[in-house]
Structure 1
């Protein structure tokens, strides 16, 4: 078995040598390389390197899939060879002019939301745990009933489950300022202003118990608890406004005057223009999402379960973060998560079938770990390393995802959080739906596995 250092040398050699590397970084599963000359890359040679689960060129980056954990060690080995690496943000800066305008916009949207997803995941897990410990069946094991739960305990759980969504605009504005080159702490304060307790609470206004404040008799002003778009565009415009003032304010006054002017300008613009308009747009997006998810006869699950992994290939799936946040904020649960969980698990099932049916040791060594990665919620190694390479397994995985999503819709599954799927996603279904969630994933995996094993993969002599 080759060492990580030997694999690193093979990677550098296959991409045209260190002189062809413009910048290099890694994410959770992939080595991301921006090269000077795409033509110098030997794709076939890279595919034959041990531990490589697939490679492709996308959005200005040559991405080599190694999988979770492995990619960190390979990256360290490459650095030890003297090949300079950059941060992910620098690599994205090198590649930002690549792809269509829509792809670049979605990629930027992803850059904003990826850093705040972990706290939303934690919040979802807290929701699931609260649902578990407050179930009558669980309490009965300890001789308790829901009436025995103290108000103080419920208050404590509300702190855990509500804080991230109450202050979501602050998180979004902070991250948006960071991505667009502003001062993050100014974005944080601007976001906090959008949820100031001095403003009518958005949830109370939605419930009809409180009226908005009307300025000039026609501009409704409210807080934006749980909103995303107003905070996102406030951060985007705010970062541009900050750059404008930084260039014009004398250096001696910059520390004091620039933050003052940025916050004053942006809170006026946010409350009186961006907020009211984008709040309406946000409601339209939510209504459209609900319309799709409420399609009869399980059609929503069939559609989402089948097409989700196709959208993942295009790299624009980060737009779903906004949809899931809105669902959790407005409904208190997430009916989208079980549909994409089925899609992800199905790709793992198809890859597992390839791994068990293949006689080639290399194919087995590639497919079996990739299927495990998919069952843990990360499908890139399975999709790019195995299923797309052979074609039919990917299609069988799509069918399995559609069938699993169809079952999830019929069973009306609802997650308590977002961004965690497949096996880790079980933590989001501690609300009396765990067995149904497992059933849906088993259906998706079994469908994809059987279709791939019997119809979707044929052992090639070249292997």
Structure 2
């Protein structure tokens, strides 16, 4: 490992010395630091090192891109050199959280809840995309779908649809597991709580509006108190609040119940108390709030589509910098659960492509071999949905590629919202994103994709050549 000793020393020096490191770990390609004072980082010195492919700060962590296969060797060298103990990713997150303000901590909490369930949601989105291709009319045969012509494929498509929908049908179970775990409770109780809110014995949330009109909403009569007997399929807020309550009730009981009786008392009372509170108060109140927010958002984009697309499409890249984009993951899921589609996620997919296009332009414009390599790899990453390397390693570093990407994304956002492009699910936020788009919207989405491929690339390349 001695071949990395000098480079490791230079990295440590550039981030403010070992005294500035609270904790450090690494992932597949990056060193991750919780620093005491990020203002002590000499970013120009750091990015000039041959071993460093880029660096950026996000969610209280300072990350240095090294590369797969090399990063673990550099990390081990650094641990030996500085004497800092090896830390887990969770320990780094906890240490980095001390540098966050209340708003950032709230956003981080949402990210900690939704990111662990993202693989299930994205997988469901991709499978729903395959189902859309098989069942969408006009893709292969005029006004008929593939399964209309090839009927032997119909049951296969039906099974794919069932597998894809499972994550959304039992979404509160997934959120319950992740949220209760994040709030410090027993995640298995979180799963039970989430599944309780979508129990088959309850009126399905998607049939609630019709039941209200017909006057057929079922009720429990609790000694004179009428409680609506409805489920919360596709809802985000009810399970989030209920999970927090469950974790706090469980923690309260764990501190007071003797160990010998915990198995008999803590879990049953926790579920009973949280369940009653959820159906009596949390569910009805958050259900009304969530529906009001959904209707308000739909109304805004319905009446001011061009303005909404221009603003959200143009600002999404800035949301990524602040970490606030994680907040809109919950909004997308809520929209899909309440209306069956989201008009926000398609703009996310195009924003990612725009950042990749701007980074790719830098590869062709620069003569710096190191920057060429970083620009190419980060562009590929952005085209596949991961934009941080392109944004923090290339685009923000030179500023004008980032601005070019925002402009391209804004124009594309305006165009696709005016054409009412919607996604049936959350998928891979890049070039494969079309799989999550309703087939009827593919034409407009592909034109939006052309905009974010051409505009950021042309603008970045032109400015780079002018600046030489």
* TM-score where L is the length of structure 1: 0.89
Alignment map for 1:297-376 (pairs within 5 Å): 298-376=306-384
Alignment map for 1:24-423 (pairs within 5 Å): 24-26=24-26, 30-36=30-36, 38=38, 41-50=41-50, 52-66=52-66, 70=67, 73-75=70-72, 77-79=74-76, 81-82=78-79, 84-136=85-137, 145=148, 148=151, 152-153=155-156, 155-208=158-211, 210-213=216-219, 215=221, 216=224, 219-296=227-304, 298-423=306-431
Give 1:279 deviation, angstroms.
0.8
Residues 333-392 of structure 1: per-residue CA shift (max 9 Å, x gap): 222222122222222222222221222323323323222222222221222122222222
RMSD over aligned CA atoms reads 2.9
Distance 1:238 1:143 in 2: 47
Give 1:314 deviation, angstroms.
0.8
SS in 2 for 1:406: helix
Which runs of 5 or more structure 2 residues have no equivalent in the other structure?
none
Higher mean C-alpha displacement, 196-205 vs 182-191: 196-205
Distance 1:143 1:94 in 2: 53
| Contact map agreement 1:353 1:452 (CA 8 A) in 2 | yes
Distance 1:199 1:169 in 2: 14
Cα distance change of structure 1 residues 28 and 320 upon mapping to structure 2, 3 Å threshold:
farther
SS in 1 for 2:325: coil
| Contact map agreement 1:221 1:272 (CA 8 A) in 2 | no
Match of 2:432 among 424, 441, 444: 424
SS in 2 for 1:239: helix
Distance 1:413 1:143 in 2: 22
Distance 2:466 2:4 in 1: 32
Higher mean C-alpha displacement, 163-172 vs 407-416: 407-416
Give 1:8 deviation, angstroms.
4.6
| Contact map agreement 2:26 2:71 (CA 8 A) in 1 | no
| Aligned residue pairs, count | 456
SS in 2 for 1:182: coil
Distance 1:297 1:37 in 2: 43
Distance 1:28 1:281 in 2: 41
Cα distance change of structure 1 residues 10 and 206 upon mapping to structure 2, 3 Å threshold:
farther
Give 1:138 deviation, angstroms.
6.2
Distance 1:317 1:244 in 2: 33
Cα distance change of structure 1 residues 320 and 53 upon mapping to structure 2, 3 Å threshold:
farther
